[in-house]
Chains A and B, each alone.
Chain A
Amino acid sequence: MNFWDRIQKVDRRVLYLILILTATVPLFFNKALPNVPDDSSESLYLSLARLQEGDTVIIQTDWTNATRGENGSHFEALIRALIAKKVKFALVSAYSPLAPAVARDVIGRINGDLVAEDKQPYRQWDDWVDLGFFPNMDAAAIGMRSDLRQIIQERKETDPQGQQRSVLQSPVFQNIKALGDIKLYMVVTGTNSINSIVARLSGAVPIGGMVTGVMGPELLVYYDAGQLVGLANGLKGVYDLEQMMSEPYTYVSKAGVREEFEPILPGFSGRGTRYYLTLTLTLILLVGTVVIGNLAMVFSGRKTRRPR
């Protein structure tokens, strides 16, 4: 039995052990790696960077702890960017009743960081509101398109005086008459809940997506067709965004128009940066095993075919 035979027969548990080490050890290092942002991430960055102070954005947060690695990082980068740009936002959820709580936890943590840096925390009611869980988002989206205010008027939030009032009275929805006044509808999701938003709201409001790597390919279809203004795809998408947001960015359109953006979060390095090293190493491991597996198949004595 030569070397390649032994490789062919390697126990898959050995492979799993190597994978565990590759996926966990790099988490302890925070190293920024060179990167070329995807076209879709760049478009998403542009629609975020073009937001103005006081604009209102709706964020559909459809993720829980199972996809925290990707969606949690998306959400955190997004919220930090919106806070830095003083953009107001409203949260909605369609996927799970747990999702609003998970999202509020993240905002609470970011506010903790802001307070620690002697900055003003982002206040619920004044700067953001939580519209809660919509069990039938398809119907809610149709309703939003025809009359946003009617759909959300029943949703209550506590104002600074401790009174429960309709979210419509909060500063977040002060200047919002219809869905068209919302500057961006962001969907952070690990499921296909974004599909019904694209189907129902496309054309009425710019829709952006922040999705897991598995959902990405399917949603590229919508990005490609212009139904999504941008798409952050998996961890790579987070890293793309974090990198573009932390530095001054110049965008040159095809017509030659230059747009220069100040860094949204100067010197920021978030979860995307921390996890990207892990992603890089596990992908290298994957490519490596595929190459070695093929070499072993070619060079080993017994050229087995997978039974069909």
Chain B
Amino acid sequence: MLAQVSVPPEYSAWRGEQYMDTGWFGVAFTLGMVFLIAFNIVRAHRKSDIYIRRIAGLNAIDEAIGRATEMGRPIVMVPGIGPIGPIVFQALSIFASVTKTAAQFGTPIRLYCSSGPVLTVAQEIIRDTYQTQGVPERYDPDSVRFLSDQQFAFAAGVSGLMLREKVAAAFFLGDFFAESLIFAETANAIGAIQVAGSTQATQTPFFIAACDYVLIGEEFYVASAYITREPVLLGSIVGQDWMKIAVSAMVLGGSLIGTWQIRPGAGRDERLRRELMRKQPDLQGAALEEALRAYPPTEAIKIERTLGPRLFTQDRSVANSLKIVREPKVKPAETPAEAGGEE
């Protein structure tokens, strides 16, 4: 039996409308961005002389390790308190390069994690780094630790350990929230060099106020390319730059189009005003505005007009009022009276 779909003629059951659910433009834009990155990664394999500007925070890494080695005190690293994901991986790959240098000089390291999955991955990576440097015996399994998955318990733990172990250098890279300042100020109080970077834009100012070197915004993502100069990473940095150029062009184009749309006498509001004035020519001033508020041709525009241009309304109730009739997967049982009942 074919399923019946009763749908108003202007809507299709699944085409179009459903793409609007996820926002087809967003999807298309994302795919475009992915293409830019992929294209540049391929391109970078052929072109090796890609220039990245100097980033002070990353140059400071060696300085910080050097100081810790001189003083014979540990380096502390925290990959943020976010869940396992790209941000943590990025932070860990920067920490791997820090550990590489530290392993060569025998500088002790401490890596504190706030979740089990992060701990597992971090232990793998740090152990691997010591092995590839040819000094597996210098790897201390206790140097990578899980403290707590509670935000402030973790903050208290890290601060306490930094104070007791008198660390010489601190790297805070990843997803940091309200605890960022607690870390940074504690490290500052014991005179450690701090290199920090948060993917949370609101926490960057706190790091800037309290830390010696700060990776701002996407500098965090550029770090591993800057340190390792791998073609894949360099290519993806170029791809990111192209993305930003595309976004900037869109912002510029959007502002120009938007300005054109709101030129005097244009726009839907103006059209409605003219329409209303044609229908009721005696309305003027505030009375006209009042009548205009109560003159919405459609529900969507009514909402948009009450809330101002802040809201772009897609009338979802239309899509949800569709009657879609599908066959049931399993036919309902013919409810045999107390079948097999053991009473």
Contact = CB atoms under 8 A, between A and B. Distances in A.
Do A and B interact directly, with beta carbons closer than 8 Å? yes
A255 B202 contact: no
A146 B21 contact: yes
A145 interface: yes
A116 interface: no
A50 B311 contact: no
A146 B289 CA distance: 35
Contacts of A179: 316
Interface residues of A, number: 32
Interface stretch (A53-61, A104-112, A155-163, A214-222): A214-222
9 closest Cβ contacts across the A-B interface?
A226-B310, A178-B320, A180-B316, A218-B202, A146-B21, A257-B289, A180-B317, A203-B312, A178-B317
17 contacts: A146-B21, A146-B319, A147-B320, A177-B320, A177-B321, A178-B317, A178-B319, A178-B320, A191-B177, A206-B303, A206-B311, A214-B178, A215-B202, A218-B202, A226-B309, A229-B311, A257-B286
A9 interface: no
A204 interface: yes
Question: How would you classify the secondary structure of chain B's contact residues: helix, strand, loop or mixed?
Answer: helix
A218 B286 contact: no
B105 interface: no
B279 to A, nearest CB: 19
Contact of A226 (B151, B212, B311): B311
A142 interface: yes
A308 interface: yes
Interface in A205-230: 206, 214-215, 217-218, 226-229
Interface centre among B18, B293, B309, B316 (most CB of A within 10 A): B316
B159 to A, nearest CB: 16
A257 B305 CA distance: 12
Contacts of B120: none
Contacts, number: 70
A252 to B, nearest CB: 10
A258 interface: yes
Interface string B174-209: 000110000000000000000000001111000000
A206 B310 CA distance: 9
A204 B307 contact: no
B310 A66 contact: no
Contacts of B289: 255-257
A180 B311 contact: no
Contacts of B21: 142, 145-146
Interface centre among B200, B315, B320 (most CB of A within 10 A): B320
A204 B321 CA distance: 15
Nearest to A67: B178
Given A229-B311, A257-B290, A145 B201 contact: no
B313 interface: yes
Contacts of B285: 256
Contact of B307 (A47, A66, A308): A47
Contacts of A206: 303, 307, 311
Contacts of B303: 206
Contact of A217 (B202, B293, B315): B202
